[in-house]
Amino acid sequence: MRPGENIGVFDSGYGGLTILKEIVRVLPQYNYIYLGDNARAPYGTRSFEMVYRYTGEAVKKLFELGCRLVILACNTASAKALRTIQQVDLPEWDPEKRVLGVIRPSVEALGQYSRNGHVGILATRGTVNSLSYPMELEKLYGKQRFKITQLACPMWVPLVENNELEGEGTIYFIRKYVQELLTADPKIDTVVLACTHYPLLRPLIVRCMPPQVQVIGQGDIVADSLGDYLKRHPELEERLGTEGRVTYYTTDEAEWFERMGGIFMGEKIKCTRLVI
Ligand code: DGL
């Protein structure tokens, strides 16, 4: 155990907890600070400018709280803000700090999953409209390898936020989007849950999908990729504290975050409200 700097995990709200949970499972030794911008969520329906501004403010706050590295555990923020933060802001704020997203590791992992190259991306409107997934996939694998069908599922985040994880209404909206996706491309063999909230609906999504379709979440992919990154960057890894601590902050009501966050993490958590 050594004292040191933290790894920040940021999301617009609770969704990033599905990523944090896997990161902590795979790399329990480090100190984590989770920040959910619940007061300004959802990000999925917001403009590029707003997502970029809010994400930038949150990243700066996490740096102030002693993070050396911040993971944007939100697809919308990764799609709309990551590149500008990395290329424009970080060199000015602190060139020794790092911000990573969830899209690149998910795209890298996709090569191992799809057999026929027909892939479905389920995400927020913001992520879908940014075209980040098709663009990253084309950059990495060329034009021919994958046939990508994207679909925005705007009802799923509110269902999760309201803890409606089962029941007739939820099944209706899961079937609706699954059918829409498979009508657009019936050959899809792999579906990426490219929104951090969706893993909570995974059991029902799997139930509504034909058995030959694999449904992939991002938590374990991002956790493995972070482990790799830290191995490749010992100069950064050495500065991280290894006391195995997780601290939670929200920009909205702490009690509500504790209640909802407990459902996401599967255990009781303590949270503090933060103004950013
Ligand atoms: N966490 C966001 C994502 O992964 C979804 C929630 C939101 O719209 O804020 O895209």
Give me the average pLDDT of each 10-residue run along the chain (276 residues).
95 94 97 97 92 98 98 96 97 96 95 94 95 95 94 94 91 98 98 95 97 96 98 97 97 95 92 95
Counted domains in the chain? 2
pLDDT of 85 reads 98
pLDDT of 108 reads 94
- Relative to beta strand 118-123, strand 190-193 is parallel
Are 72 and 112 in the same domain? no
Which CATH number characterizes residue 36's domain? 3.40.50.1860
Global pTM reads 0.94
Are 72 and 47 in the same domain? yes
Angle (CA) 226-227-229 rounded to 5° is: 60
Q: Which residues line ligand 1 (CB under 6 A)?
A: 11-13, 15, 41-44, 74-76, 124, 127, 157, 195-197
pLDDT of 163 reads 87
Query: Which among 124, 150, 159, 251 is the best mutation to test ligand 1's pocket, defined by most ligand atoms within 8 Å of the CB?
Result: 124
Are 11 and 70 in the same domain? yes
- For residue 87, the enclosing domain spans 6-101+220-273
DSSP-H helix ranges across 33-131: 48-64, 75-80, 82-84, 90-93, 103-113, 125-130
Catalytic residue among 67, 195, 208, 271: 195
pLDDT of 1 reads 86
